[in-house]
A and B are shown apart, each in its own frame.
Chain A
Amino acid sequence: MDTRSVKTASPRDLSRDELAASLEWYGKMVLARRFEDEAEREFRRGKIGGYLHVYSGQEAVAAGFLSAIRPDDIFFTAYRDHAHAIFRGAAPGAVMAELFGKATGLAKGKGGSMHLFDVAHGFYGGYGIVGGHIPLATGAAYALRYQKTERICLCFLGDGAMNSGSFHEPANLAGLWGKQGLCPIVYIVENNQYAMGTPVERSSAVTNLAGRFSTYAIDNERADGMDFIEVRRLAERVVRRVRETGGSYAVELLTYRFAGHGAADLFQPYRTKEEIAQARSRDPITILEDRLRAAGALTDEQVKRVHADAERAVTEAVRFAEESPPPAPEELYKDVYGARDEDEKTGTRDRGNTGTR
């Protein structure tokens, strides 16, 4: 599948609101990209362990949707989650500290790159098993409506997640519940063309991923995911509909993962350098930059300042992560069970099974 086959809407005048949002989110997208470049560098330096999956190339997807929801709305995503956290307001330092495994990280250094959480900002994680978060997001959407709120839930997922049972089962539930107005969720398929190293054509018998939601009576559409302004317009329309109806909806956004699947995916034998170069010619940051320039809203001077700000924020994030302490040894046994349960129900936690008596 080629993202260029989906035509980007022709530039047109931006509303005042769109202009302000686009300028703000241009800065956030530049920051996220700079953050990911630095995370890859820190991984190579050995400062970040485990797995590292960067978001570069896909920024317009999360930015477009997260710029279109309310502060009390919530969202779930998989393990390619750094940009989502930063976009939603997590301090880059707290994100970097989590990657460094430090006590000041978003999850106190207990989750790492794949398990970023920022519940105060409506970010419910950060999941490492492909597709495993989709049922959670679906139930969370039910809870929001059960609680008689107008809040909605976004569930970001990859093209690779759509072939697992953990996609099909909750999608069926969302179809059933959505018909009754009880499931205000938007499934956002970030089709970056590859499930690890396997292209969509080789992993999905039907490559129109949006259309697969029709099986479960979930209305859906497919669009280009590289142009922030267009994604945001789509997101505002879809989010309004889901909020009003309590029905579920799905969007497939065509995008591209500029980096490998993870930091260890060095040689990428499943795709050519030419293909990557071609995809990079439609960089979402450049596309937004060009549109803002065309609208006369962005000067060279401003671009330079945005990049300098991002540089400074990321340098500061790394310094913060470096200087932060690791989790205290006693943190090992904290957060397994809630304090209330330990105190009132079990006396002291049964540590015998952990071999630490």
Chain B
Amino acid sequence: MAELTYRDALRSALIEEMDHDRRVVLIGEDIGVYQGTFRVTADLLKRYGPGRVIDTPISELGFVGAAIGMAMLGLRPVVEVMTWNFSLLAMDQIVNNAAKLRYFSGGQVNVPMVIRGPNGAGVQLSAQHSQSLEATYAHFPGLYVVAPATPAEAKGLLRTAIRSDDPVIFLENAALYGMKGEVPDSDFALPFGKAAVARSGRDVTVVAYSRMVFAALTAAEQLAAEGIEAEVINMRCLRPLDAATIVESVSRTHRAVVVQEQWKPFGAAAEIAMRIYEDAFDQLDAPVERVTGADVPMPYARTLEVRAVPHEADIVAAVKKTLGKD
């Protein structure tokens, strides 16, 4: 065990995979000389050279598409998007090529690639730089969608992602890069599609992922002070979705709250709530509650922005609603 930041956990996974597998290459904007906007790739150009740490022009369609071609030929590119907002420029490549190539080629082609970068709101980055795109990508078969919350998850899931034979949408979070946590040494990997119980509780199940896991844990502490024991499930991965862990929890707590940073309509929480209804309807004592971001483009003014993202208090209120204590 070592204590690492989320950033260094990601970086150590990159280094270990690059050390043992020459097929792994990094590609993206300002990841080399500039060392990465969030310094996840700091110093890697010096270690591996420009052939493996490829600085690109600001050209998402071009370099994401090129990485798909590299993957088709057997490389294992890890693409950095400076933020996931910019992935929209490469959406045709991700959705129409990466996700579907194995299928429409009748299984002749693998696309072993990772696209990683920060997802979700920052601080006063306004409308174009604050989006949470997990549900957008989780909609498409052929992609994995991963959203680690802790440094250990960041490392263990990134290793699995790099070793995957299919494209992985790897959603980091800018607010988490500096967060520290224990990370197992050695060849440590976490499987896709396995959620973790971040806190045990008997009264209500709170489902979250990425940064919202910490909002849920803080809410759970506040609730505990009032005698309400919330179980917090950290999804880690949205596609595939570990419905079994959620259903098992809900079958004990009989209540569920799903938290997401993104907009409410057609979001991840809607899908997760529906899975609970499909698989555990008889277990529910109350309707599933959703805690989400406000259904507006992100405003710039800090006073408005604060109101646009979910907070602990919103989770506490939703939990109480499921318990009839609102």
Contacts and interface: CB of A to CB of B under 8 A. Distances in A.
Interface in A86-128: 105-111, 115, 117-119, 124-128
Contacts of A168: 62
A108 B57 CA distance: 38
Q: Give the size category of A's interface with B.
A: 35 or more
Contacts of B271: 353
B92 A132 contact: yes
Given A135-B93, A140-B73, A352-B275, A117 B105 contact: yes
Task: Name the residue in A118, A135, A138 with the highest tally of chain B Cβ atoms < 10 Å from its Cβ.
Answer: A135
Contacts of A108: 106-107
A301 interface: no
Interface in B43-94: 51, 56-57, 59, 61-75, 77, 92-93
A12 B63 CA distance: 45
Given A139-B68, A173-B66, A350-B241, A110 B165 contact: no
B113 to A, nearest CB: 10
Contacts of B287: none
Contact of B166 (A111, A334, A337): A337
Contacts, number: 179
A139 B97 contact: no
A117 B241 contact: no
Contact of A338 (B67, B92, B106, B166): B166
B136 to A, nearest CB: 14
Q: Size range of the interface on B?
A: 35 or more
A354 B101 CA distance: 19
Contact of A345 (B65, B142, B192): B192
A50 interface: no
B104 A115 contact: yes
A200 interface: no
B183 interface: no
Given A337-B102, A337-B166, A352 B241 contact: yes
A165 interface: yes
B166 A341 contact: yes
B164 A345 contact: yes
A338 B105 contact: no
B192 to A, nearest CB: 5
B74 A143 contact: yes
B109 interface: yes
A340 B77 CA distance: 18
B66 A110 contact: no
A124 B105 CA distance: 9
B280 interface: no
B178 interface: no
Contacts of B61: 135, 165-166, 169
A154 interface: no
A135 B103 CA distance: 19
A353 B65 contact: no
Contacts of B68: 135-136, 139
B297 interface: no
Contact of A346 (B62, B77, B240): B240
Contacts of A65: none
Contact of B141 (A110, A118, A144, A336): A336
A315 interface: no
A179 B130 CA distance: 37
B75 A143 contact: yes
A135 B142 contact: no
A182 B52 CA distance: 12
Of A108, A126, A345, A357, chain B has the most CB atoms within 10 Å of the CB of A345
Contacts of A147: 73-75
Contacts of B166: 337-338, 341
A139 B106 contact: no
A146 interface: yes
B192 A341 contact: yes
A335 interface: yes
Closest 8 A-B residue pairs measured CB to CB? A135-B65, A169-B62, A139-B69, A139-B66, A350-B240, A107-B106, A143-B73, A338-B165
17 contacts: A107-B108, A111-B104, A124-B72, A137-B69, A138-B62, A138-B69, A139-B73, A139-B77, A146-B25, A166-B62, A170-B66, A173-B63, A337-B142, A337-B144, A338-B164, A338-B165, A346-B191
Interface of A: 74, 105-111, 115, 117-119, 124-129, 132-144, 146-147, 165-166, 168-170, 172-173, 176, 182, 334-338, 340-341, 344-347, 349-350, 352-354, 357
